[in-house]
Amino acid sequence: MIAPAQRMSSIKPYVFAGLIQRKEQARAAGVDVIALDIGSPDLPPNEQIVNALVAAARHPNKHGYGGFTGTPAFRKAFADYYSRRFEIELHPEKEVLPLLGSKEGIYHMAFAYLNPGDVALVPDPGYPAYVGGALLAGAIPYPMPLRRERGWLPDFNAIPADVLSKARLMWLNYPNNPTTATAPLSFFEEVVAFCRRHHILLCHDNPYCDNGYDGYVAPSVLQVPGAKEIAVEFASLSKSHNMAGMRVGVLMGNAEVIKTVGTLKTNADSGPYLGIQEAAIAALSGDQAWRHAVQETYRERRDLIVHGLRALGCQVDVPQATIYVWAGIPAGFRNSAEWAEHLLAEKGIVVTPGTAFGEHGEGYVRISLGAPTERIKQALQRMSK
């Protein structure tokens, strides 16, 4: 067979693709698998969203291409949302670009801005696509360790000067996957100043900004005055509105970056389906009260897991946001992979070992709250036996 391109040797199958295979094998062997690995909400979007999708699907004229940059109404819905939510004014035509989910945008950002040999600064542990995108673009992902003692925020002073001189992009994500840490606006102010000083394009990935608990409201990096000169932000409806399968997000901020990534995307895809754009408009402009009920369900699950794991002797902080719990491994296990393996083999529970997000995730596993509460209770019972 013809050999694949060399760049394919720089990446492995995506971590969750491997876990899906493991789950299927276990299920085929008769195990009642409780999947707490992938961050895919188990609850549906609300009626308004589904109705908008169904209405578009029934409309004979809404099955063509959805437009490379989406419809004006779609872009305006996101600009209006950012104005209401963060008091950030965005030009709907120049500063908002639809994405087929933010994961797609993360990969395309790497191809649009990284030359071979460039450095991309990535959080470690971090969402794996930042590393994958950089590697496929021939660039060098440089891990910025996130540590509990620093509130899981990177230490920019620890980045060596020769790395900084080659750095073109910095990825950040707060509320954070996988650590669940949050960052105050003052941190974003520091980051914007740092990136400006070192001429680095700041890419802030913000899919969990509306998954706060106990009154926590996450900021946007674009709230920092002048941020748009150096930064873009990725937003997604996957977690906030239970729309992960619809694949809808946006890139917002610096107009030049939006134009460049947009040009790349006109070559690579043909924009989101109109029905999904209309569902997104319904999601953003419709009643939001239902989302509080969803977040309350996550809070209940979060509390069950935090209490259950603490009873097992795990070190667990109470997340202020996201749909995960980041749990230290209990005594008796040498590393994250060993505990995750034990949970699958002995208890039929799938969690994500912290090292799936980078070597600094060692000592932790990530547990998703996107599973029915009853299944989470069963998982905790199995663990406590």
Ligand X SMILES: Cc1ncc(COP(=O)(O)O)c(C=O)c1O
CA 232 vs. chain centroid, Å, equals 15
**Token pair of 232, please?**
């873009």
Per-residue x/- track, 182-221, ligand X (CB under 6 A): -----------------------x-x--------------
103 binds ligand X (CB under 6 A): yes
Nearer to ligand X, 45 or 308 (CB): 45
Burial 47-59 (b: 16+ CB within 10 A, else e): ebbeebbeebeee
The nearest distance, CB 44 to ligand X, in angstroms, is: 16
Q: What is the DSSP string of 294-346?
A: HHHHHHHHHHHHHHHHHHTT--BPPPSBSSEEEEEPPTT-SSHHHHHHHHHHH
**Token pair of 253, please?**
């901020």
Nearer to ligand X, 177 or 242 (CB): 177
The nearest distance, CB 93 to ligand X, in angstroms, is: 22
Enumerate residues 315-334 that contact ligand X by CB under 6 A: none
d(CA 322, CA 87): 22
98 binds ligand X (CB under 6 A): no
Enumerate residues 214-253 that contact ligand X by CB under 6 A: 236, 238, 244, 249
Q: Which stretch binds ligand X (CB under 6 A): 29-37, 95-103, 162-170, 330-338?
A: 95-103
Strand partners, 204: 172, 233
Nearer to ligand X, 173 or 242 (CB): 173
Interface pick for ligand X out of 19, 23, 36, 39 (rule CB under 6 A): 39
Question: Cβ neighbours of residue 136 under 8 Å, at least 6 residues apart?
Answer: 7, 10, 11, 107, 110, 111
The nearest distance, CB 3 to ligand X, in angstroms, is: 30
d(CA 199, CA 196): 5
108 binds ligand X (CB under 6 A): no
Catalog residues that contact ligand X under the rule CB under 6 A.
39, 101-103, 127, 173, 177, 205, 207, 236, 238, 244, 249
